[in-house]
Chain A
Amino acid sequence: MTDLQLPAAPAARPRARRRRPVPWDLVAALAIFLVLAVVDLVLQPALADLGQIGLLLQTGLPLVLVAAAQTMVVLVRGLDLSVGGILAVATVVTASAQGGGPGWIALALAVGIGLGLLNGLLVGPVGMQPFIVTLATWTIFDGIALKIMSTDGGTPPPAAVALATGETAGIPNSVLVVVGLLVAWLLLRRSRFGHRMVAVGTDAERARLNGTPVRAVVVAAFVLSGLLAAFAGVLSSGLTASGSPTIGDRYILTSVAAVVIGGTSLLGGRGGIGLTVLAALSLTLINDIVAAMNADVWVTTAASSGLLLVLVLTRGLVARLSGRRVT
């Protein structure tokens, strides 16, 4: 009934030569950004100037950083709904300077790290769901911001204003911040820690089998997220020259949208800050275009969400057609 003979040894397989798969996520994010940039340029030809670009970038900067913060956590298969809360706390701490020096900026960043650490400890070592943890801490952090400053106001240190709106050697600081963020990300991605993050996000159990300190990596991702969100707060307060305890909430879902448009998988382990930045800038461009067209505010909201839907839909279709796993 059964064949007990060993099959003949097969011929050695030639080394498989396969083409590198097309990086669809990069192509899509770039295409969207370029189309929007061209549309914006046609509407406002004056934009083709470094100073103007810097101004546009300024307004988008907090979103870029919050989205980067969100990316760190999503990469390890988490979700951080509290980024808006951390941002709000950071703006009011920065604006509490009232004539004080750049020490207040450092304090705001340190607070961001602390709040991120709290999230990370609850998710990693305690083992609670990131969604639940950050849903709760979101409101708690908002409350802390309101306790520090019950209405918009205060004065951030001049350094914060300069950081957000000034320029260095003729280059707008906003451009430098974005470039700095991208460089930092490239280094992080190539670092040993970056590999650990990818491993934990891809499959925490397999990462553990390889001896990865999974919980520590999760904590670190949340700390980085807290730091970046606080930095967004510092810049936001520099931009408006005041603190706002309620400014954070508008960034939460937008940050998730930017992560998704940028092609970072919500299932963890794939993607990165580079494309998130591009996506956050695309969302900023939409705002600018809608403003240039003198349309109502609701158009902005609807347009960004519409873009998100269209993108996720196309990605699903492309994945189905090319037989890849949908992310």
Chain B
Amino acid sequence: MTIIDGAGTGAGAGRGPAAGPAAGPARELVVTGLEKAYGRNQVLRGVDLTARFGTVHALLGENGAGKSTLIKILGGVTRQDAGTVSLGGRKLPPGGVTAAQRAGVRVVFQELSSIANLSVAENLLYRAEPHRAGVVAGRRLQRRAAELLARFGMDRLDPGRRVADLDLAERQLLEVVKALAAEPRVLVLDEATSALSSADSSWVLDQGRQAAARGCAVLLITHRLGEVRDVADRLTVLRSGTTVLVGRPDEFDDDTMITEMLGRRVERLFPPRTPPGEDVVVAVRGGRVGERLGPLDLEVRAGEIAGLGGLQGQGQREVLRALAGATRWTGGEVTVRGREHHPATPAEAIRAGITYVPEDRQREGLLLTRSVLVNSSLSSLFSLVRRGLLDRRREAQRSRAVAGDTGLPEGRLHAPVSMLSGGNQQKVVLARALYREPTVLLLHDCTRGVDVGTKADIFALVAGLAAKGTGVVFYSSDLSELAHFCDRVYVMAEGRVRGRLDAAGGELSEESILRLALTHRADDTGEEAPAP
């Protein structure tokens, strides 16, 4: 491993001592004071980052720390509100993706940018197709693509195949080759290894190293600290949209990095917990959903708040959706209060006493144009029916009572939900859950984008419900919520539960969750036989 810049410069302290003969323009990518807000959500609040050409620079941070936004700005996908990005001493011109690409920035996007209905070759040379009078020269295209694939040691990808027929890992590899093919000055690898086997991961990291050796500044975003130690020359840690730590990987131990990623937060948000009962309300044994999720074991007791932890997109959403009847279990045994539970529709799950608060409250959870009253009684209409008709008066009475419990503004019960703030909208969704006193409450990131005061209200509500015996399954992208609000957290990675942390045993903390989520390495596909 080569360490090029030996000086431990502080955050955003500009260029280090000139290493090598390049005394002219700064041979580095410099980001200073970058700010960006989406609506009222300030995502970046002054990010500084300096990555020298010829090095691999790791970018670390919790979910929501602002890494993706920073990358999008670098790639020209979005524009910053303030701050500058300069490359080799020259400012990155505005003008979107094309301008950024022309300046030499290539991003391997986490969400992948290849076009499913084009072939591997057509994707590799997209917008650089060899052509005669506008008509693409098919044979030359194939040949050039094959040459590129061979050059980067990825000739197992067939240039003629349609990308739609590739699996996720192959698409990821294609994405990397595509970026490398442009011979970029700045190469951004955004969690490019997260979907790959260990052999493919090391290919990606190796290519990153080689690109750096050719003089490229490689920005490596990963959640695997091992990878950082293996290939990165320097690192920058982001937290809540600011740069909090800069240095060489060997200057810090894992704990320091993790602590810096989390930061220290004073938490008064969380209500005291009452210990859960002994009855198991939900049990999943060997549960599977499709190819990617499971086998998986979970247990939730009455009155328990069970967290689903881990990095984003490790199967937590699928677990909640399957329990809620929005998708089907494809294997395993699932019981609710001892009775088998394989709901085919959300309606069946609701009848079994399960209430699901989905992630996207506006799209999946609310009728935005209808009133608070209508929304809060929506899934318990049958209990309000008298002689075949809806008893409007009882509906209003109960809704009012529930609204009082949830702290919704009394005067707004007839207002359309779209007029409420995000936090209050979330309360309406929860009011609906309260209305039913469900056996099981499934919460998907219900505090995202909600202000602190409302958050506290929501936690109090949920804790109150749990005290009455409801089993709660709580997924949050915020580690501190998992650590302080849950009785037990199941940490998930790549579709499986990787560990269980109990608050009672003193094992549960932000650090222990993150450690479990991060130290898990890519396994090879299918090393565990599926349960019979």
Residues of A within 8 A of B (CB): 1-4, 6-7, 9-10, 12-16, 18, 21, 187, 190-195, 198-199, 201-203, 206-212, 269-270
B134 engages A192 (CB within 8 Å): yes
Residues of A within 8 A of B127 (CB): 192, 210-212
Q: Which residue of A lies closest to B137 (CB)?
A: A190
A-B contact count (CB 8 A): 100
How far is A194 from B138 in the complex, measured between Cα atoms in Å?
Answer: 13
Q: Which residue of B lies closest to A208 (CB)?
A: B97
How far is A208 from B109 in the complex, measured between Cα atoms in Å?
Answer: 12
Q: Could you give 15 example pairs across A and B, Cβ below 8 Å?
A: A4-B521, A7-B522, A7-B523, A7-B527, A9-B198, A12-B199, A187-B135, A192-B134, A192-B136, A195-B118, A198-B115, A199-B117, A206-B112, A210-B115, A211-B97
Residues of A within 8 A of B199 (CB): 9-10, 12
**B interface size (C-beta, 8 A):** 43
A269 engages B117 (CB within 8 Å): yes
Residues of B within 8 A of A209 (CB): 75, 77, 97, 109, 113
**B 118-145 binary contact with A (CB < 8 Å = 1; else 0):** 1000100011010100111010000000
Residues of B within 8 A of A3 (CB): 520-521
**B 128-165 binary contact with A (CB < 8 Å = 1; else 0):** 01010011101000000000000000011010010001
CB contacts under 8 Å to A, within B512-532, are 516, 519-524, 527
**B 92-104 binary contact with A (CB < 8 Å = 1; else 0):** 0000111001000
B248 to chain A, nearest CB (A): 22
B521 engages A206 (CB within 8 Å): no
B158 engages A190 (CB within 8 Å): no
How far is A206 from B519 in the complex, measured between Cα atoms in Å?
Answer: 32
Q: Which residue of B lies closest to A271 (CB)?
A: B117
B210 to chain A, nearest CB (A): 18
B400 CB within 8 Å of chain A: no
Are A206 and B520 also in contact (CB < 8 A) when A187-B135, A199-B126 are? no
How far is A194 from B118 in the complex, measured between Cα atoms in Å?
Answer: 11
Residues of B within 8 A of A (CB): 75, 77, 96-98, 101, 109, 112-118, 122, 126-127, 129, 131, 134-136, 138, 155-156, 158, 161, 165, 197-199, 202, 226, 498-499, 516, 519-524, 527
Are A195 and B129 also in contact (CB < 8 A) when A1-B499, A1-B516, A206-B115 are? yes
How far is A13 from B196 in the complex, measured between Cα atoms in Å?
Answer: 14
A190 engages B135 (CB within 8 Å): yes
Residues of A within 8 A of B75 (CB): 209
Residues of B within 8 A of A207 (CB): 115
How far is A10 from B129 in the complex, measured between Cα atoms in Å?
Answer: 35
How far is A208 from B122 in the complex, measured between Cα atoms in Å?
Answer: 16
Q: Which residue of B lies closest to A207 (CB)?
A: B115
Contact check: which of B115, B135, B519 meets A199 at CB < 8 Å? B115
Contact check: which of A15, A194, A269 meets B155 at CB < 8 Å? A15
Question: 9 closest A-B pairs (Cβ-Cβ)?
Answer: A209-B113, A211-B97, A269-B117, A211-B98, A202-B117, A199-B115, A15-B156, A1-B499, A206-B113
Contact check: which of B126, B165, B198, B499 meets A210 at CB < 8 Å? B126
How far is A201 from B116 in the complex, measured between Cα atoms in Å?
Answer: 10
How far is A199 from B498 in the complex, measured between Cα atoms in Å?
Answer: 39
How far is A212 from B197 in the complex, measured between Cα atoms in Å?
Answer: 31
How far is A131 from B91 in the complex, measured between Cα atoms in Å?
Answer: 42
Residues of A within 8 A of B520 (CB): 2-3
Q: Which residue of A lies closest to B202 (CB)?
A: A9
Residues of B within 8 A of A192 (CB): 127, 129, 131, 134-136
Q: Which residue of A lies closest to B493 (CB)?
A: A2
How far is A269 from B109 in the complex, measured between Cα atoms in Å?
Answer: 21
- Tell which of A6, A194, A209, A212 has the most Cβ of chain B within 10 Å: A209
Residues of B within 8 A of A12 (CB): 199
Are A202 and B116 also in contact (CB < 8 A) when A6-B521, A191-B136, A211-B127 are? yes
B117 engages A210 (CB within 8 Å): no
How far is A198 from B75 in the complex, measured between Cα atoms in Å?
Answer: 23
B391 to chain A, nearest CB (A): 39
Q: Which residue of B lies closest to A9 (CB)?
A: B199
B524 engages A7 (CB within 8 Å): yes
A16 engages B158 (CB within 8 Å): yes
Residues of A within 8 A of B521 (CB): 3-4, 6-7
Residues of B within 8 A of A16 (CB): 156, 158
A10 engages B117 (CB within 8 Å): no
Q: Which residue of A lies closest to B515 (CB)?
A: A2
Please name 10 further chain A to chain B contacts, defined as beta carbons within 8 Å, in addition to the given A202-B116, A202-B117, A206-B113, sorted by A numbering: A2-B516, A2-B520, A9-B198, A10-B197, A15-B156, A16-B158, A192-B129, A194-B136, A203-B116, A209-B109
How far is A87 from B2 in the complex, measured between Cα atoms in Å?
Answer: 68
A290 to chain B, nearest CB (A): 36
Residues of A within 8 A of B116 (CB): 202-203, 269
A21 engages B126 (CB within 8 Å): no
A210 engages B113 (CB within 8 Å): yes
Contact check: which of A7, A193, A211 meets B101 at CB < 8 Å? A211
